[in-house]
A and B are shown apart, each in its own frame.
Chain A
Amino acid sequence: MAVALNANVSSTPAEATRDGFGKGLVELAEKNPRVVALSGDLNDSTRVDWLREKFPEKFVQAGIAEQNMVGMAAGLSLSGRVPFAATFGPFMLRAADHIRVSIAFSNLNVKLAATHCGLTTGEDGGNAQVLEDLAFFRALPNFTVIAPCDSLEAKKATIAAGEAAGPHYLRLGREKTPTITSEETPFKIGRAEIFRDGGDVAIIACGIMVGEALKAAESLARERKIEAEVINLHTIKPIDEKAIVAAARKCGCVVTAEEHQVHAGMGSAVAEVLGEKMPVPLRMVGVRDKFGTSGKGMELLKAYGLTAEKIAQAAEEVVKLKK
């Protein structure tokens, strides 16, 4: 059964998921005196500044040195702190080996917040639009990987990550998008939520593509008499196999949608589950083996086919493949 969402989306101000992260970080720090945050000369853009302004003593400026930032975060966790290290998603990968060995292999309680992920980073161009981070993080043992669908969910995810043990990766964005969830919408790490009931096709999405999936479902119902179930798979690892298998069994076909390469991203994670447990026809919406480019965020989603229309088109196609 679908969970409660925000009934007043149009009157709720649009916010970026990085904003929700900033709010969650401050709320966490108010509750837990052991929370600290690091940033690499990007405190303003990552919203770590919101914590720094309130609790300057809980902020560590790492400078433009992501490898050391991540390594120091690991060390801070050894002193019993709960460190959040924040930078832009592309530059988090600079520290990939440190993340793998110092954090994942050692299973330390470090939280990594990657803002500016995906095409919607916009004008900065291809180097700044990371579309490969999920591939790395979801392959790392011990890591929990979360891509929240809106600012409010990002806030809940930040708090939940701070309260849970072990390494967590938060995939966040720069662009303001509608807040589709409400305070009442449940959020639990590792549990996918049904955002819309339907029986003809399951659309599984994460990040800001959840909003597009909901729009696609409305147009499918209106124009094609196709009832789509929409699932918010905010936690990519550990993946909610049960929810995916149940949706595939019920609907008989699946579409995935993500702001990432289709190779080794969320859709691939779903495909792995389906392939082993419940093979059904699948269509993946995402970036297909291309780098990003300069442009406005929303313009780029369109140019790369990451829109409600393309999700609806994929749904129509995959429904036809059902036996």
Chain B
Amino acid sequence: MQKSAAADAAAIPGIASPSRNSAIPAQARPADAAAISKIANQLRISSIRMTTAANSGHPGGSLSSADAFATLYFGGVLAHDPANPSWEGRDRFILSNGHICPVWYSALGKAGYFPESELATFRQLGSRLQGHPQKGTLPSIEVSTGSLGQGFCVAAGLALGLKMDGKASKVFVSLGDGEVEEGCVWEAAMASSHYKLENLIAFVDRNGLQQNGPTEKVMGIEPLADKWRAFGWNAIEADGHDARQILGAFNRAKTAAGGRPTVIIFKTVMGKGVPFMENDHQWHGKALPKEKAEEAVRILEKGA
């Protein structure tokens, strides 16, 4: 985590010295690209195990997003403190595509927000690991999500509030590529550039698939980067399975200036890492049967 208060001050016009109110906590040394890729595979394995144990849930997008989550949480991108989840100076994260919470919960567990043994209770009655993130269940869930598009609007409001208070914290928000079909995504996009929310960083999992098939067949969203640019955003495109590119994109977004929020479009593959799941939309919202899951874990363990 290399945060420069000076860079932040420059990034938020009209605000002299944005502050985090307290020192940034010491964190484990950020993982390098090779280590991030290993962690991503561990998150994939965990996502497969969780969904198969629950016999439901959404493995496809969890696997396509794993590298971005590994980078965000373990590559020194997000300022956060598992020992003090409500640290006021933290960067905020919102999972607007709430259905891919297996990969997020896996990252939170690995980071130490709760015992990893709890991952096995995902989606069961009484578990803190709800089928979609619910505020008040686990630390670091800022808002309940699962109804697509809504988390992004909340992220915009949170970024606006932090900016009004002169805070240096960034707001990161994850979106699915099917999710951007929701109208409110574009309402929030418009508002974010209107209010010059440089502290807002959105990333879209451009795996090309949604529940009923390819996005371009269900409801064409291209040209996606140009749409964001037309809405007043910086748009960065990167390979969402290349940790170095992901790191580079996040770091560019963090130092963005000029009154524009930044979106990173990560080109990804649904089901990444498990050949028999890749690019197949049936795995958007279906758990692998037990034997298939064991096979998937064996394949992924080679890269973990």
Task: Point out residues on A near B: beta carbons under 8 Å.
Answer: 41-45, 61-65, 67-68, 90-91, 94, 122-128, 293-296, 299-300, 303
Chain B residues, Cβ within 8 Å of A68:
183
Per a CB cutoff under 8 Å, which of B57, B147, B182 touches A127?
B147
Complex alpha-carbon distance, A251 and B225, angstroms? 66
Interface residues of B in 40-99 (CB under 8 A from A): 54-57, 98
Flag if B181 contacts A123 (CB, 8 Å). no
Question: Given the interface contacts A64-B179, A68-B183, does A41 sit within 8 Å of B144 by beta carbon?
Answer: no
Min CB–CB distance B95 → chain A (angstroms): 12
6 A-B Cβ contacts within 8 A?
A41-B181, A62-B219, A91-B147, A123-B123, A127-B144, A295-B123
B30 at the interface (CB under 8 A from A): no
B28 at the interface (CB under 8 A from A): no
Min CB–CB distance A133 → chain B (angstroms): 13
Using A63-B218, A63-B219, A123-B57 as known contacts, list a sample of 6 further A-B pairs with CB atoms less than 8 Å apart, ordered by residue number in A. Answer: A45-B211, A64-B149, A65-B181, A94-B147, A127-B145, A303-B125
Flag if A64 contacts B146 (CB, 8 Å). no
Chain B interface: which size bin? 20 to 34
Chain B residues, Cβ within 8 Å of A44:
211-212
B273 at the interface (CB under 8 A from A): no
B131 at the interface (CB under 8 A from A): yes
Interface residues of B in 137-154 (CB under 8 A from A): 144-149
Task: Point out residues on B near A: beta carbons under 8 Å.
Answer: 54-57, 98, 123-127, 129-132, 134, 144-149, 178-179, 181-183, 210-212, 218-219
Flag if B183 contacts A125 (CB, 8 Å). no
Chain A residues, Cβ within 8 Å of B130:
125-126, 293-294
**Which chain B residue has the least Cβ–Cβ distance from A121?**
B131
Complex alpha-carbon distance, A123 and B58, angstroms? 11
Complex alpha-carbon distance, A123 and B123, angstroms? 5
Min CB–CB distance A54 → chain B (angstroms): 17
Complex alpha-carbon distance, A124 and B179, angstroms? 17
**Which chain B residue has the least Cβ–Cβ distance from A303?**
B125
Complex alpha-carbon distance, A124 and B130, angstroms? 7
Question: Given the interface contacts A43-B212, A64-B148, A299-B125, does A294 sit within 8 Å of B183 by beta carbon?
Answer: no
Flag if B182 contacts A125 (CB, 8 Å). no
Per a CB cutoff under 8 Å, which of A43, A63, A122, A128 touches B132?
A128
**Which chain B residue has the least Cβ–Cβ distance from A296?**
B125
Min CB–CB distance B132 → chain A (angstroms): 5
Chain A residues, Cβ within 8 Å of B147:
90-91, 94, 127
